[in-house]
Structure 1
Amino acid sequence: MESNKGMVGMALGSWLVAFAGGTLAGTLAWVLFGWSFLQGVFLGAVVFIVAGILVSWVMTRPLPKPGEVKINPPTPSANVAATKAAPINVAPAPTVAKVKPTARLAGEEELAARKGEWKYEKEAAPAPKAEKKAAPKKAKAEKAAPKAADSEGRPAYLTDAPNGTADDLKKISGVGPKLEQTLNELGVWHFEQVAQFKKKDIAWVDERLRFKGRIERDDWVGQAKALAKGKG
């Protein structure tokens, strides 16, 4: 009884699903595709009948009873059986022949007796530092040589030391700290000395400056005369 009720319920549900599908198909044809009402009803009836028969047949088809379906396990092929039955031959590992010396070499015992007597010594220490210190002295001597050469032909009014307080030669246009130091080394310390420059004096000083021609180009003599007067 329970199985019959279940079959009736499934059939009823199948026709309800078919009715819903037919109604939907007829409505879509009427609204979307512009069919007439009768054409939509006819299409819905066709869909209802066809869908009802198919769905009810699928849903109410009886299932096979237990034991009717048999599953046969697959049989192994002949190749698999042959591979299982065939033995695997493993080649034996090759043996290493032992080489035995036939006779002792000449001098072998003497070399074995001397083993451990040889020693390696460290390399000789580097040269003493006294030689390195000698080089700067030479450099100092070489640096002192140009000063002696610079004094050759120097005007008599250029001195190694200032007469009292040295003037600020940087007040002369074109003279910077480095150039002032160079002028002091040449013996120029005061504005009065620059104001006395003659042609030969300008040539002597100009040869020892890095930028030649600056004395006449910047008119150091005229500037020094004005500065000397202002100082007085």
Structure 2
Amino acid sequence: MDNKQGMISMALGSWLVALAAGAVAAIMLWVLGGWSFMQGAFAGFVVFVVVGGVISWIMTRPLPAPNTVELKPSEPAETPKPAAAATPQAEKPAEAETAEKSAAAEASAAPVAKKAAAPKAAAKKPAKKPAAKKATAKKAAAPKAAAADARPAAFSDAPRDGGADDLKQISGVGPKLEETLNSLGIWHFDQVAKLKKKDIEWVDARLRFKGRIERDDWVGQAKALAKGD
């Protein structure tokens, strides 16, 4: 009797908890969720039924009667299986013989490989001669490059005693370009008038706009200016 009364009280308690959960859910959906009263009441009823059924099933399910749990005896541990039988010692001499044969073959092949590699190493030594030729070619090219970069002899670091000419009178020569020509050593009209092809190439390589000397005919203009025309 006491057991039945306990089960009934637990069932009633679980449904009361479910009723409270359903009421709280209905109020929350109605007030905060913006649901209508009927929608909130229906959702609360669903929560009431689900929660009540789950809690009552958990709380009121029958427990196993005492002395009904059977304990199984522990099974004895399995005995380890014997390891595989070792290979007979009769096989060892055969393996030793094969190892000795392979070592002898490698030892005999080593001198042959060294002899074959020796001619290759000897053939690589003459490759140093082209490198020497390149070095001599570079040494020969160095004076030519220095000569090409050398300033023409007609140019000077400073103007003559009479002062520098106004190179801006040449069409195409502005103030900045005049400063560049002065820095290269050109100060006077006669220097521009006497420019040769090599001198023009040397000056043209140092100007921002190449080809202006021949395009604007600096040489012809400078000859006229030098004569005072």
| Interval of TM-score (by shorter of Structure 1 and Structure 2) | 0.3 to 0.5
TM-score, scaled to structure 2:
0.35
TM-score, scaled to structure 1:
0.34
Larger Rg: 1
